[in-house]
Structure 1
Amino acid sequence: MDSETLLARITDYASRPDPYPLYAELREAGPVVRQASGSYLVGTYHEIAALLHDPRMSADPRTRGEVTHKPPFLRLDDPEHHRLRRLAMRPFGPPHSPARVDGMRGEIDRIVENLLEPFEAGRQIDIVDDFAYPLPVTVICRLLGVPREDEPLFRAWSDAIVAAADVRPDEDTDTDKAGDQARMEMGGYLVNLAEQRRGQPSDDMLSAFVNEPDPALRLTQEELAETSVLLLIAGHETTVNLIANGVLTLLRRPEQLDRLRREPGLLPQAVEELLRYEPPVHMRERIPHADIDVAGTRISQGSTVILVLGSGNRDPKRFHEPDRFDPTRPDIEHLGFGSGIHLCYGAPLARLEAQAALRALLPHLGTASLVEDPPPYRQNAMLRGPRHLPIQL
């Protein structure tokens, strides 16, 4: 059956520019579709949302005995997940980061202003390399306390880690090894940097981690490495896609671009609609702790369940005219940041960066045009976004 090859077709690079017809096929085939590999795809909004909140669903690959080392807390279950997530969020400020994130507004605006300097009429700009990547990576490096001269180190490490984190129908040992090596090197660099701050606290997150006075709230060295790598990767990779997908969407829809230029107050709502319409994260993998029933399909304990968030966000049973980008849409309970205990804790920062970025770009986009459409995409099907987005000013 064709439905049994959906994951292979969705993850095929040829589908990267437009996976949405395949998502429609997935929803048509049923809320749950078993693949030839034995994994299960879930593509409907209500079933995805329910599973993201289901305590029987594990994010931890050790549930299947795949790894022996402790994963980052993004891939842990409670209570380990809750403990590490709480410790990672402490330096942001109580209760869940708004104070510290809100305090970044001025810094983000200054970074954006500097990145806009090359934007002159007649020039060709790569939105990804020249803007969407350097903005969030600079922000998260400054939050962590990474020296500016070391920021370029993280591009190659990030690319390798993200490639290994992709949802793939088949194993790719070389990619996994490269990802492990990059994670180890990045973790070693960040732990070494943190150790330099021990006893000499400064106003950054690595310093806060190693100078925590309460022994019960300290991270082990392994936890510090994994948490710091996760913060850096998660702190910029998804935001790169959000900004690049946003620019691409607006340049394809000049009427909506013009409206936002006239009514910039719509930007916060437009960013939420972008998170639904072109989300930066398209899939999440889960493993049932026990046999479960989902919409009449029995899924065995230990099976791979792939929640296709990008499909749920276009489910017509949840959203009116889901394939239409509408920045005034009144009801946008999207899955762009996931849901449940693993709801993206960096969401406030991502929203702030995306709003600042698009607000600053709007005046330049009115007379800009796409050099390539579709643009070249990243290999990753889970973290989907343009690898380059050249525009002519």
Structure 2
Amino acid sequence: MSTETLFRRICDYAGRPDPYPLYTELREHGVARQEDDSYLVGTYHEIAALLHDPRVSSDVRLRVDDPELLPSEDRPAAFIGQDDPEHDRLRRLVMRPFGPPHSPGRIDALREDITGIAAGLADALDGKERVDLVDEFAYPLPVTVICRLLGVPQEDMPQLHAWTDAIIMGLDISPDDSEEARRRQRTALDARAAMMDYMGGLARARRERPGDDMLSALVHDSSPEGPLTEPEVKAHAVLLLIAGHETTVNLITNGMLTLLRHPDALEYLKSDPARVPRAVEELLRYEPPVQFLPNRTVLADVEVQGVTVPQGSRLTLVLASGNRDPLRFPEPDRFDPAREDNAHLGFGSGVHNCFGAPLARVEAQIALTTLLARLGPARLAEDPPPYRRSPVLRGPRHLPVDRLSPG
């Protein structure tokens, strides 16, 4: 089968439960030119090198033709859609109240709060014979945490959920020019505009009455480079809210799905919860919540495994394929919760590595530790479960589990 349609096949929803055979095909070809003249890269060492290559750009303006999607003064791109030096300036301003080096204790200080939220969600599962681990645990945990961090009122979470779902649906980057795909994109634009307006209102309120949340810190930043403009605050508040929970939902859900499929590994972790942090790293390798980065453009001709990727070409870096590369990881298709030397690509790498990685790790460690202790004997009610539509942010939409009587 031609590799020119490989990206189309990867994006096909029918393959969402198991895209890994397609990634094996990709690695066999190293670099695969697609029918739209973009290029896929799926081998570990090449992906890692390209993530650190200054000739590879993340600037959203280089890959968007539709004027509606282009950044503007009122709707600026967040730092993940920009290159240095502007990327570096914005990222440092946003990171100041979020974590090290300016707020080194913030994530550790959240551990007790996250543990309490997880315990409360586990309490609500007691007595139920069937639970949906997405709706009843994996989603509410990280979204509650990020809303508290930002200072978003809990009663507004359902509306934020609806907006987020619409935005994620609009991120469907499959080669689909149907009217339905265009409708999803328009809906996503409307949802992002509404969420930006909402965050702008919260930011203005914090300007008048600051609290101890991140929005207050962003609008009152007194560093020489700050503060962010109001449109920049809105754009980054939306980014923080969505990125601050979407990938973690998938990490927790993919984690429990993997453990329920590997009962020996589940018992291995239950017998010693101190093993969970290393297991989370293996889950980030084995079933990463972000499958690939479709948003890169080469600024000059780049040679990858003997193939010249011409200047101006779009580049898709398939992180999940690199994570299964046998030239980097022994027995890459085997889930090993005790795996060492696990320099996975689950959070990317280089200047655009995931800024929320420390929080996601803590949330996943606490979530899995709590579920291992509190869920009890259980089995998957559906395998494979129903998956979300996005091929980029891949994870089950629901994870129904039947709880069994002990013994």
**Structure 2 length normalisation: TM-score?**
0.94
Of 85, 88, 91, the match for 2:91: 85
Are the counterparts in 1 of residues 58 and 81 from structure 2 also a CA contact under 8 Å?
A: yes
Give distance in 1, aligned partners of 2:99 and 2:33: 43
Answer yes or no: is the 8 Å Cα contact 2:63–2:314 preserved in 1.
no
- Indicate which of 396, 401, 405 corresponds to 1:386: 396
**Pairing 1:360–2:365 present:** no
What residue is the counterpart of 2:199 in the other structure? 190
1:8 paired with 2:8, answer yes
The code of the aligned residue for 2:339 comes to R
Could you tell me which residue of structure 2 aligns to residue 22 of structure 1? Answer: 22
Stretch deviating more after TM superposition (108-117 or 204-213): 204-213
1:187 and 1:103 mapped to 2: Cα distance? 28
Partner of 2:271: 262
Secondary structure in structure 1 of the residue aligned to 2:131: strand
**Matching residue of 2:165:** 159
Q: For 1:177 and 1:327, how far apart are their aligned partners in 2?
A: 42
1:302 paired residue number = 312
Q: Amino acid of the residue matched to residue 124 of structure 1?
A: R
Q: Deviations over 1:172-208 (max 9, x none)?
A: 3222211111111111101101101113221001111
Q: Which residue of 2 aligns with 1:129?
A: 135
- Are 2:250 and 2:394, in contact at CA under 8 Å, matched by a contact in 1? yes
TM-score by length of 1: 0.97
Q: Which residue number corresponds to residue 31 of structure 1?
A: 30
Residue aligning to 1:40: 39
Question: Are 1:277 and 2:298 counterparts?
Answer: no
SS of alignment partner, residue 319 of structure 1: coil
Q: CA shift at 1:65, angstroms?
A: 5.1
**SS of 1:92 mapped into structure 2:** coil
In structure 2, the residue matched to 1:210 is 219
Most deviating of 54-63 and 90-99 = 90-99
Post-superposition CA distance 1:33-83 (Å, at most 9, x none): 001121111000001000000001011121245324332111111111101
Per the alignment, residue 140 of structure 1 pairs with: 146
**What is the letter of the counterpart of residue 22 of structure 1?**
L
Measured after TM superposition, the shift of residue 392 of structure 1 is 1.0
Matched residue of 1:323: which SS?
coil
- Aligned CA distance change for structure 1 residues 305 and 191 (closer, same or farther; 3 Å): same
Q: Per the alignment, in what secondary structure is the counterpart of residue 32 of structure 2?
A: strand
Structure 1 counterpart of 2:204, which letter? Answer: E
Structure 1: 4+ residue segments shifted above 6 A: none
1:179 corresponds to 2:182: no
For each residue in 1:287-339, what CA deviation from the matched residue of structure 2 results, as whole angstroms up to 9, or x when unmatched?
A: 00112111111111221110000100000111000000001111110000000
Q: In the alignment, which residue of structure 2 is the partner of 1:101?
A: 107
RMSD value, Cα: 1.4
SS in 2 for 1:152: helix
Choose the corresponding residue for 2:124, options 118, 138, 147. Answer: 118
Distance between the aligned counterparts of 2:102 and 2:393, measured in 1? Answer: 25
For residue 336 of structure 1, what is the aligned residue in structure 2? 346
Would the alpha carbon gap of residues 13 and 93 (structure 1) be closer, same or farther in structure 2, given more than 3 Å must change?
closer
User: Which residue identity does 2:299 align to in structure 1?
Assistant: H
Q: What residue is the counterpart of 2:300 in the other structure? A: 290
Mapped partners of 1:97, 1:280: distance in 2 = 26
Give the whole-Å Cα distance in 2 for the aligned partners of 1:278 and 1:222.
35
Quote the residue 1:240 is aligned against: 249
Instruction: Tell me, in whole angstroms, the C-alpha distance in 1 between the residues paired with 2:221 and 2:102.
Output: 18
Counterpart selection for 1:228 from 226, 237, 241: 237
**Is 1:318 the equivalent of 2:328?**
yes
Residue type at the aligned position of 1:71 = A
What is the alpha-carbon distance in structure 2 between the residues aligned to residue 96 and residue 291 of structure 1? 38
SS in 2 for 1:106: helix
Displacement after TM superposition at 1:147 (Å)? 0.9
Q: Which residue of 2 aligns with 1:168?
A: 174
Task: Give the partner amino acid of 1:39.
Answer: S
Shift of 1:166: 3.3
Tell whether the 8 Å contact from 1:251 to 1:365 is kept in structure 2 after alignment.
Answer: no
User: Are the counterparts in 2 of residues 98 and 348 from structure 1 also a CA contact under 8 Å?
Assistant: no
d(CA) in 1 for partners of 2:154, 2:30: 47
> Conserved in 1, the CA contact under 8 Å of 2:107 and 2:358?
yes
**CA contact 1:57–1:287 (8 Å) conserved in 2:** yes
Which letter does structure 1 place at the counterpart of 2:333?
A: D
Letter in 1 for 2:346: G
Distance in 1 (alpha carbons) for counterparts of 2:298 and 2:169: 25
Secondary structure, counterpart of 1:151 in structure 2: helix
Give the conservation status (yes or no) of the 8 Å contact 1:244–1:389. yes
Query: Is 2:89–2:225's contact at 8 Å kept on the other side of the alignment?
Result: no
Give the secondary structure class of the aligned counterpart of 1:160.
helix
State the alpha-carbon separation in 1 of the partners of residues 128 and 240 from structure 2.
Answer: 37
Measured against aligned partners, the alpha-carbon deviations of 1:66-122 in whole angstroms (never above 9, x if no partner) come to 324332111111111101100101112540654101100011011111111222255
> Equivalent residue for 1:374?
384
How many residue pairs get matched? 392
Deviation at 1:364, TM superposition (A): 3.7
Structure 2 counterpart SS, 1:392 = strand
**2:319 partner amino acid:** L
Provide the C-alpha distance between the structure 2 equivalents of 1:237 and 1:133, rounded to a whole number of angstroms.
8
